Every structure is written in structure tokens, then in C-alpha cells.
């Protein structure tokens, strides 16, 4: 039986594709996706039948993929990042369910933008985080603002996807709201994380430069638990008493940190 694969292709660079995604893309005969993601995986899918559609053609993309899978072709519907994080997994499953189309589906996860961006600036997500999509094309702004306020009340670090959608300046409104809850907090702007054109900016919220933000960007609004040290954003998550104790314990520290060359690995040790 043929199968429909909904495949996350990660943030961009090929080395961030999972092995499973690679395997699936090699074996399917048909690949459907938005032009940018198809380009991203071009070296892997040479010679296959490829369908690309425009940015807003999500429904069309799903229908094409479902049709070919139902006709007996192994088909991959590709999404940037992860297909279940503002990708096409939900819509595709909804269409299959509503139309009672009985095809086998496998969803292949990918590295989502929040994780791709966070690893470049340190470890800001260590102490619980929320992802919030600012696009008010599908979801009303009132709902987005309500969720933002709840996340701020909860002291979460907030990763903003789609910071510049229809109303370009929603992000400005977001910063004005954030300032009512978090004072002196850090903001990271990561453009094109782990792909061509990568740019990273870290600043205090007071000095954030909105002109650096576009639709290829995620914005990480750090919770008050995040501090900045030696170029990294670090979320405290309860290790601090242990760490302080260790720093005062010279003997243990020296044992671990001042080690001479690592012991040779003997196979018998494993």
C-alpha cells in the first residue's frame, strides 16, 4: 500500500535533516511542497516528480499530495521545520478525516525554528517556554494577545513565530505588552537560523531593533530567569545551589577540571 509522508525538513541546511526524513525523501516517487523547501532538499530529490505551489496554497498542496498517495504513489508532502508546528500535518489529517480518505500516513518530525534559533544563542528555553505565532491571517489578534499575556503571567520564555505577517507591526504591539510584565529582559532575534543568511542579534528589550525582524526570523523573548554571560543566554533552572556549592569546593573542582590527559579508552572498560 502506498503511503503519504508528511515530512519536516528542518530549518534549512541539509545536515539538520533527520535520517528518517532523508530515507523517506529518497524512496518516495512524488514530492509536494512550497518552492523554498523543495529547493532546500533539491540534491536529495533529483529525478522525482515534484509539485510546488505558492506560499498561501496550503490546501492545494495537501490535496495534491493526498491525491497521489491515494492513487498508489508513495508521496512526501514537505514542510519547513516540523510539520506539526505551524506546518501542514494538521490540515492534511483534517482533510483525510473529513473526506474519509483512507490512506496510510506517517509524520516525520523535523527541527523546528524555535530549537534551531535557541541553540545559536545559548540555552534560553531550559526553564519552560511557549511558542506563539503572530500571524493573524488564520487566528484573530485578540486570541494571540490573550495567549501572550497568559504566557507573560506565567513567566515563560516566549518564542515568536511569524513576527511579521499581514499587520507588519504586531511585533511592536507585542514588545509594548511585554514591557508591562518583564523589565530589563533579553530579546534574541534570529534570522534564517541554521541556513543561508543567518543573522543573530541579542539585546535588552529597551534597545531591541525592530528593523532586524522579518518573516524569516524568530524572536525569543527571554523570561526573567534568563541571564547573559560570555555571549550566551542561559536560563536558570534550579542547579544554582549545586553550582555554588561546587564552586566553593576546590578539591572536587580540581579533580574534574584540572584533569591531565583523558584516560585511554580500553575496550574492556565497556
Under the binding rule (CB under 6 A), the answer on residue 216 touching ligand SAH is yes
Under the binding rule (CB under 6 A), the answer on residue 195 touching ligand SAH is yes
Among 217, 225, 226, 234, binds ligand SAH (CB under 6 A): 217
Rg (the chain; Cα; Å): 22
Among 21, 28, 41, 117, binds ligand SAH (CB under 6 A): 117
Q: How far is CA 22 from CA 16, 92, 106, 129, 248, in A?
A: 10, 21, 14, 29, 48
Rounded to whole angstroms, how far apart are CA atoms 41 and 35?
A: 10
Name which of 89 and 226 has its Cβ closer to ligand SAH.
89
Q: Which stretch binds ligand SAH (CB under 6 A): 145-153, 159-167, 203-211, 235-243?
A: 159-167
Name which of 21 and 225 has its Cβ closer to ligand SAH.
21
Among 16, 24, 40, 87, binds ligand SAH (CB under 6 A): 87
Under the binding rule (CB under 6 A), the answer on residue 159 touching ligand SAH is no
Strand partners, 217: 191
According to DSSP, the β-strands at 30-34 and 75-79 are parallel
What cell was used for 26?
Answer: 529518497
Number of residues that bind ligand SAH (CB under 6 A): 25
DSSP 154-196: TT-EEEEES-SSSSTTHHHHHHHHHHHH-SS-EEEEEESTTST
Longest dimension (CA), the chain: 69
Rounded to whole angstroms, how far apart are CA atoms 36 and 268?
A: 50
Q: How far is CA 208 from CA 159, 222, 235, in A?
A: 15, 13, 20
Residues in contact with ligand SAH, shown as a per-residue x/- string from 38 to 77 under the rule CB under 6 A: ----------------------------------------
Under the binding rule (CB under 6 A), the answer on residue 178 touching ligand SAH is no
Q: Which stretch binds ligand SAH (CB under 6 A): 27-35, 69-77, 156-164, 180-188?
A: 156-164
Q: How far is the CB of 85 from ligand SAH (least distance, A)?
A: 4
List phi, psi (to 5°) of 229: -145, 125
Q: How far is the CB of 243 from ligand SAH (least distance, A)?
A: 31
Whether residue 213 contacts residue 189, with contact meaning beta carbons closer than 8 Å, is answered with yes
Under the binding rule (CB under 6 A), the answer on residue 33 touching ligand SAH is no
According to DSSP, the β-strands at 3-8 and 75-79 are parallel
Q: How far is the CB of 263 from ligand SAH (least distance, A)?
A: 40
Helix, strand and coil content of the chain, in percent to the nearest 5, comes to: 40, 25, 35
Name which of 30 and 171 has its Cβ closer to ligand SAH.
171
Among 4, 190, 226, 235, binds ligand SAH (CB under 6 A): 190
**Which residue has the CB atom at the shortest distance from ligand SAH?**
81
Name which of 59 and 215 has its Cβ closer to ligand SAH.
215
Contacting positions for ligand SAH (CB under 6 A) = 11-12, 79-82, 85-87, 112-113, 116-117, 161-163, 190, 192-195, 215-218
Amino acid at each position: 500500500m502506498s503511503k503519504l509522508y508528511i515530512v519536516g525538513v528542518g530549518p534549512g541546511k541539509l545536515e539538520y535533516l533527520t535520517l528518517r526524513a532523508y530515507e523517506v525523501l529518497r524512496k518516495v516517487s512524488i514530492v509536494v511542497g512550497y518552492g523554498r523547501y523543495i529547493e532546500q532538499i533539491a540534491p536529495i530529490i533529483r529525478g522525482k516528480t515534484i509539485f510546488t505551489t505558492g506560499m498561501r496554497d496550503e490546501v492545494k498542496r495537501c490535496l495534491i499530495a493526498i491525491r497521489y498517495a491515494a492513487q498508489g504513489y508513495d508521496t512526501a508532502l514537505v514542510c519547513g521545520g516540523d510539520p506539526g508546528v505551524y506546518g501542514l500535518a494538521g490540515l492534511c489529517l483534517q482533510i483525510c478525516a473529513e473526506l474519509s480518505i483512507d490512506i496510510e500516513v506517517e509524520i516525520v518530525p523535523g527541527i523546528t525554528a524555535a530549537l534551531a534559533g535557541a541553540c545559536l544563542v545559548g540555552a534560553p528555553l531550559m526553564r519552560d517556554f511557549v511558542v506563539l505565532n503572530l500571524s493573524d491571517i488564520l487566528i484573530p489578534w485578540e486570541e494571540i494577545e490573550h495567549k501572550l499575556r497568559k504566557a507573560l503571567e506565567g513567566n515563560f520564555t516566549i518564542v515568536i513565530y511569524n513576527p511579521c505577517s499581514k499587520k507588519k507591526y504586531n511585533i511592536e504591539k507585542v514588545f509594548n505588552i511585554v514591557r508591562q510584565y518583564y523589565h530589563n529582559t533579553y530579546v534574541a532575534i534570529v534570522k534564517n537560523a541554521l541556513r543561508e543568511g543567518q543573522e543573530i542579534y541579542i539585546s535588552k528589550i529597551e534597545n531591541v531593533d525592530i528593523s532586524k525582524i522579518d518573516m524569516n526570523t524568530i524572536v525569543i523573548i527571554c523570561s526573567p530567569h534568563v541571564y547573559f554571560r560570555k555571549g550566551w543566554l542561559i536560563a536558570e533552572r534550579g542547579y544554582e545551589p549545586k553550582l555554588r556549592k561546587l564552586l566553593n569546593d576546590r578539591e572536587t573542582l580540581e579533580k574534574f577540571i584540572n584533569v591531565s590527559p583523558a584516560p585511554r579508552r580500553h575496550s574492556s572498560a565497556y
